[in-house]
Structure 1
Amino acid sequence: MKNFGFRQLPTWWVRDETALKRFKGGRWSGGSIAALKNLLAINSLCEMSGYSARVSYQGLMTITGLSRPMIARGVKALEANGLISVNRGGYINDYSLTGSATDPGWAKVPCLKVQECLSGLPNRGEATLAALKIYVYLLSIRPNNEKEVSVSYSKIRTNTGISQKWVRPGLDLLFSNRLIHVRRVEGFTPDELDVTGLYYFNQYTITGDLRLSKWA
């Protein structure tokens, strides 16, 4: 049984300027990738109007492409950062995403698209970590009535902690795994200067079903 439509991802923590920067690269990149993959996978399995999901390690392994030890490592990292709580019940665990009473905002996450495409992202490397951080950031700032997000490279770097050289590779991974589409738009705020001397910025489209749908 698959989930269709979108699920609600609490975004209070993304608005903390240090939040996505906690998921570090370098020798920590594997654990950071595992944490963000687990977060998206658990969210994609949540109830339609809630933050709870019941799933086995095998279910998370199927969606994320991670090994069992990396599932465990990623879940522990999410717990340590206060993003989830876990009621361990043996073969199947109950996961709850942490909300905020003072900042109840949430992002729409296309659950079926995440379930289909997340395992295609490699489980190691700075480009994958950049891709996951960018994806969560784009989801968190997308207006609810639109699929498109317009944001500069500099804002992506500022809010995710990604170095400049990894922004483009991260976006390329999201595009090649069909999680976003990218369109270049001319604008008045300089982001990058092309060979014609015109300023432009990228407009990102979140792919997948963002409508309110029933379980199927």
Structure 2
Amino acid sequence: MRLLPWVRMPAIWIKEGGLRDFGWSNQVKVSRSTAIAALQLYIALLTQAEEKWRDDGCKLIAEMTYTRLMGITGLSRQLVAAGLEGLVVAGRIKSEKEGRKCRYVFAGYDFSGNWCKLPARPLYNVLQSTHIEPFQMFQKRSVCELDALKLFLYFAFARDNKTMFTMASFETISEKTGVAEKRIPRANAFLINCGLLANLSREHSEDVKKKEPNKYFMRGYRELFTGQKAAPAPAA
């Protein structure tokens, strides 16, 4: 499958605070290393998904083996299994099996709107496009890594489609993601270090007492303006 510059990601669940379902405490739906694996798999599946028409409309579907997902993400088989189950529990995907084939259908997808752009091809290693390069820095052991993935998905959701960057205050980021404001700087630093963020900058206000929100440039932000066509509707 040819990787696209960017792919469509369902957006309503992030708007409604669905990222809070992934956390470090045992009170959330998906926790700790399983939550990290789940969000990495969500990103990986999106980059490989295709729009397909069914009787109940246009669906976003990824057909992937565990082995392929292990190669893309660097996760163990155990974490792939746990992460996929976490996505099902959180209501982000539905899993279907047909023989040995595994099919993952994204929940909340609306091809006519309510989606946002997620970088796809730029996330992969340049030469072979076999794995998502920034994921190689993840150890799956710290809340900082989970925070970083939640912020990355939020930045994709919150970006103005007319601009190359996302602007958001720490207060808003915390409200939508569940990441405490005091942990956001460290998560941003991790995003920069692993390469999921290409740049982070702040505009200086004339009012020295006023703090302007940061500008977040995701990896592959320049390719977010490359065209992509929707799947053709089935013949009547």
Normalised to the residue count of structure 2, the TM-score between the two structures is: 0.78
Q: 1:12 to 1:198 in 2, by over 3 A?
A: closer
Shift of 1:114: 3.0
1:187 corresponds to which of 199, 205, 209: 205
Aligned to 2:65: 56
Gaps of 5+ in 1: 190-195
The aligned counterpart of 2:219 is: 207
Partners of 2:180 and 2:210 lie apart in 1 by 24
Q: Is the 8 A contact 1:4 1:112 kept in 2?
A: yes
Which residue among 8, 32, 35 is the counterpart of 2:35? Answer: 32
Contact 2:32 2:141 in 1 (8 A): yes
Q: Tell whether 2:133 aligns with 1:117.
A: yes
What is the distance in 1 between the residues matched to 2:155 and 2:218? Answer: 8
Q: Secondary structure at the match of 1:88?
A: strand
Q: Aligned pair in 2 of structure 1 residues 105, 139: CA closer, same or farther (>3 Å)?
A: same
Distance 2:6 2:146 in 1: 23
> Distance in 1 between the 2:41 and 2:100 partners?
17
Q: Is the 8 A contact 2:147 2:184 kept in 1?
A: yes
The answer (yes or no) to whether the contact 2:5–2:122 under 8 Å persists in 1 is no
Structure scoring higher RCO (CA < 8 A, sep ≥ 6) equals: 1
Amino acid across the alignment from 1:14: I
Could you report, residue by residue, the CA deviation over 1:88-112 in whole angstroms, capped at 9, with x for unpaired residues? 24554111111256x9411111112
Contact 1:7 1:47 in 2 (8 A): no
Q: Which amino acid aligns with 2:37?
A: A
Report SS of the residue matched to 2:201. strand
Q: CA deviation at 1:188?
A: 7.3
Unmatched tracts of structure 2, length 5 or more: 53-58, 125-131, 230-236
Q: Is the 8 Å Cα contact of residues 109 and 115 (structure 2) preserved in structure 1?
A: no
Q: Is 2:41 aligned against 1:43?
A: no
Mapping of residues 77-96 of structure 1, within 5 Å: 77-89=86-98, 91-96=100-105
Matches within 5 A, 1:16-31: 16-17=16-17, 19-26=18-25, 28-31=31-34
Aligned to 1:131: 148
Aligned equivalents of 2:71 and 2:101: distance in 1? 14
Post-superposition Cα deviations, 1:10-45, rounded to whole Å, max 9, x if no partner, equal 01111113x111101146211111111110000000
Deviation at 1:130, TM superposition (A): 0.5
Q: How many pairs were matched up?
A: 206
CA separation in 2, counterparts of 1:52 and 1:3? 15
Paired position in structure 2 for 1:192 = none
